[in-house]
């Protein structure tokens, strides 16, 4: 296994991710673990991460001496390169200017780490790599025994190696995707240089996670708020695998779920997994509290607060629960400031169950905290959840509540649910010939929005005066920015025809052609 020592970089988790992609097991630990810890961990290789501070002088973080005594390959990345340099007798100096972003690095001296790894075909760029740099200082003198491995015009020592000791260091970040050959480089390090087998898979992750959950929880009980979303579903399946009936899932139906969603969640968890699931139908209570409220932020706050109340009431009925499980995944940790600086202004107050652990006096169990979304999905499939469920588009906590503009009424929710289901069905059934994928797979999020305005139509011989539905489909990689999807006209035509014919009460369908920014993905 590989040990990653974290010096506080925002992208340390990406190193772990690349190592996992090379099918090698790894763990991240803080840079100041003890020498004893390192000896008992017995790593086959050690990676020293970058750091959030741009300059070397900002802090005095060092790798424990045991790193250098372990006799295993060490890779220093960015700050990791600085600390390797200084600890082994070289020199780091403040640079005149920061280098940030894209750079082309030239490889030197045929090192095992970079040999044969390159980005360009042309002779004049032979041996060059497209990389991503972010640093203020630079190495000005390599430690004894090191040779130059890579350089750029502004950073003459951008990589160095002591091949006898199998120590390597790079100034750039191989873990980010902007460094095109980054995954090849990390793979080379852990597989070829360190000799790790490459036999680790999601299946082994399950075994390790199960063991860890059992150890953490012991014979105490756990509750988990099931939302039907991917993250809480995968967390539930994993924890259920570990502790069976010591887990109770609470599924709160706020009346703003998608068509048949409640049934689907119950079939899956109670029916197929035989998990303990409490299904709370709180729709009347939620819709009651929302009567007469049309301000989007107020609606969100009410739904959030009500959710906490219902969940809390259920939790109190379980006398032995000591743990609250959540499907927090790594990007949530970053976004909520777990590793990052303060969040920007609130555009929309997102609803989650934060705050619950304190009021309930429960300990937090978050088994997905280190995984990225696609890894969570792979884990879900490995746990036996249906791919349909695991690859669903994200659905916001407040549900249809933010997709019914203005005041929420049950009738509106019923109309919207049916229109939305037709849209999703058509997206799933329409295959793009170029890619062979369905339009559901080709979009990141797609849904219908209910507009509480009436327009005139004609149906058969009669005049209609009914509501409008807007369709929204976007493509995005991070949901921070998004493009509206260029869906085929034929698909839009079929969808609108079906909605107007099948959903009495809706006589007009529009397609939203706004990108984010300036529009957001949801309408409220």
Which sign, positive or negative, has the C-alpha torsion 124, 128, 129, 130?
Answer: negative
Which of residues 366 and 522 has its CB atom nearest to ligand XMP in the complex?
522
Tokens 């049950």 sit on residue: 410
Q: Which of residues 330-389 bind ligand XMP (CB under 6 A)?
A: 348, 350-351
The CB-of-439 to ligand XMP minimum distance in angstroms stands at: 18
The CB-of-512 to ligand XMP minimum distance in angstroms stands at: 12
The CB-of-272 to ligand XMP minimum distance in angstroms stands at: 25
CA angle, 143 then 144 then 148, to 5°: 70
Residue 520 engages ligand XMP in binding (rule: CB under 6 A): yes
Which of residues 316 and 340 has its CB atom nearest to ligand XMP in the complex?
340
Q: How far apart are CA 363 and CA 242, in angstroms?
A: 17
Element (H, E) at 28: strand 26-30
Residue 521 engages ligand XMP in binding (rule: CB under 6 A): yes
Residue 522 engages ligand XMP in binding (rule: CB under 6 A): yes
Reading phi first (left if > 0) and then psi (alpha if -120 to 50, else beta), residue 212 is in alpha
Q: How far apart are CA 515 and CA 490, in angstroms?
A: 22
Residue 445 engages ligand XMP in binding (rule: CB under 6 A): yes
Phi, psi of 236 (to 5 degrees): -65, -45
How many residues of this chain interact with ligand XMP, rule: CB under 6 A?
13
Find all residues with CB under 8 Å of 118, minimum gap 6, and list them.
Answer: 107, 126, 127, 128, 129, 181
Q: How many CB atoms lie within 10 A of CB 246?
A: 21
The CB-of-397 to ligand XMP minimum distance in angstroms stands at: 4
Which of residues 239 and 353 has its CB atom nearest to ligand XMP in the complex?
353
Residue 516 engages ligand XMP in binding (rule: CB under 6 A): yes
Which of residues 174 and 401 has its CB atom nearest to ligand XMP in the complex?
401
Residue 301 engages ligand XMP in binding (rule: CB under 6 A): no
Question: x-or-dash pattern for ligand XMP, window 66-95, by CB under 6 A?
Answer: ------------------------------
CA angle, 141 then 145 then 146, to 5°: 55
Which of residues 127 and 380 has its CB atom nearest to ligand XMP in the complex?
380
Binding residues for ATP: 227-233
Structure-token pair, residue 284: 């009347």
Part of the chain binding ligand XMP (CB under 6 A), chosen from 53-61, 331-339, 377-385, 513-521: 513-521
Binding residues: 227-233
Structure-token pair, residue 264: 């689907």
Maximum Cα–Cα distance across the chain: 91
Question: x-or-dash pattern for ligand XMP, window 192-221, by CB under 6 A?
Answer: ------------------------------
Which of residues 345 and 458 has its CB atom nearest to ligand XMP in the complex?
345
Q: How many CB atoms lie within 10 A of CB 320?
A: 11
Q: Which of 67, 182, 396, 412 lies at the binding interface for ligand XMP (CB under 6 A)?
A: 396
Q: Which of 41, 68, 479, 511 lies at the binding interface for ligand XMP (CB under 6 A)?
A: 479
Which of 151, 184, 148 has its CA nearest to residue 168? Answer: 148
Residue 509 DSSP SS3: strand
Element (H, E) at 132: strand 128-141
Q: How far apart are CA 404 and CA 256, in angstroms?
A: 10
The CB-of-312 to ligand XMP minimum distance in angstroms stands at: 19
- Residues labelled catalytic: 78, 173, 175
Return the bridge partners of 252, or none: 280
The CB-of-404 to ligand XMP minimum distance in angstroms stands at: 14
Burial of 307 (0-12, 13-18, 19+ CB in 10 A): buried
Question: x-or-dash pattern for ligand XMP, window 397-436, by CB under 6 A?
Answer: xx--------------------------------------
Q: Which residues bind ligand XMP (CB under 6 A)?
A: 348, 350-351, 394, 396-398, 445, 479, 516, 520-522
């Amino acid at each position: 296994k590989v040990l990653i020592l974290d010096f506080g970089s925002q992208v340390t988790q990406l190193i772990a991710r690349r190592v996992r992609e090379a099918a090698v097991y790894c763990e991240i630990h803080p840079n100041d673990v003890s020498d004893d810890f390192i000896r008992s961990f017995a790593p086959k290789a050690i990676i020293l991460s970058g750091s959030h501070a741009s300059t070397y002088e900002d802090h005095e973080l060092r790798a424990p001496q045991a790193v250098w005594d372990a006799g295993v390959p060490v890779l220093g990345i960015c700050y990791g390169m600085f600390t390797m340099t200084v600890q082994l007798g070289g020199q780091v100096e403040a640079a005149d200017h920061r280098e940030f972003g894209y750079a082309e690095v030239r490889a030197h001296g045929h090192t095992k780490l970079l040999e044969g790894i390159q980005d360009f075909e042309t002779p004049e760029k032979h041996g060059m790599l497209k990389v991503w740099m972010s640093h203020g200082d630079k190495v000005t003198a390599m430690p004894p025994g090191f040779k130059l491995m890579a350089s750029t015009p502004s950073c003459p020592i951008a990589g160095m190696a002591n091949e006898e000791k199998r120590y390597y260091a790079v100034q750039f970040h191989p873990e980010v995707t902007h460094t095109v050959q980054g995954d090849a480089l990390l793979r080379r390090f852990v597989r070829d240089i360190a000799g790790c087998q490459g036999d680790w898979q999601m299946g082994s992750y399950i075994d390790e996670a199960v063991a860890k959950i059992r150890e953490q929880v012991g014979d105490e009980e756990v509750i988990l708020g099931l939302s039907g979303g991917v993250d809480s579903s995968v967390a539930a399946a994993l924890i259920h695998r570990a502790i069976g009936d010591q887990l109770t899932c609470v599924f709160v139906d706020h009346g703003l779920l998608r068509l048949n969603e409640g049934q689907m969640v119950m079939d899956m968890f109670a029916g197929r997994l035989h998990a303990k699931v409490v299904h709370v139908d709180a729709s009347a209570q939620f819709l009651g509290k929302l009567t007469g409220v049309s301000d989007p932020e107020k609606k969100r706050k009410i739904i959030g607060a009500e959710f906490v109340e219902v969940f809390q009431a259920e939790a109190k009925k379980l006398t032995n629960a000591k743990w609250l499980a959540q499907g927090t995944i790594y990007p949530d940790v970053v976004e909520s400031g777990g590793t990052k600086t303060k969040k920007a202004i609130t555009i929309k107050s997102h609803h989650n169950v934060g705050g619950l652990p304190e009021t309930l006096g429960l300990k937090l169990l978050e088994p997905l905290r280190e995984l990225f979304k696609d890894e969570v999905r792979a884990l879900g499939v490995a746990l036996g959840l249906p791919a349909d469920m695991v690859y669903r588009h994200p659905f916001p906590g407040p549900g249809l509540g933010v997709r019914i503009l203005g005041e929420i009424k049950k009738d509106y929710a019923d109309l919207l649910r049916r229109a939305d289901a037709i849209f999703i069905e058509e997206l799933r059934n329409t295959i793009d010939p170029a890619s062979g994928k369905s339009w559901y797979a080709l979009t990141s999020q797609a849904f219908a929005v209910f507009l509480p305005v009436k327009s005139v139509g004609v149906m058969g011989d009669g005049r209609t005066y009914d509501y409008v539905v807007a369709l929204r489909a976007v493509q995005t990689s991070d949901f921070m920015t998004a493009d509206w999807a260029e869906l085929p006209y034929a698909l839009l035509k079929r969808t609108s025809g079906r909605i107007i014919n099948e959903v009495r009460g809706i006589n007009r369908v529009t397609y939203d052609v706004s990108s984010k920014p300036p529009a957001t993905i949801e309408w409220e």
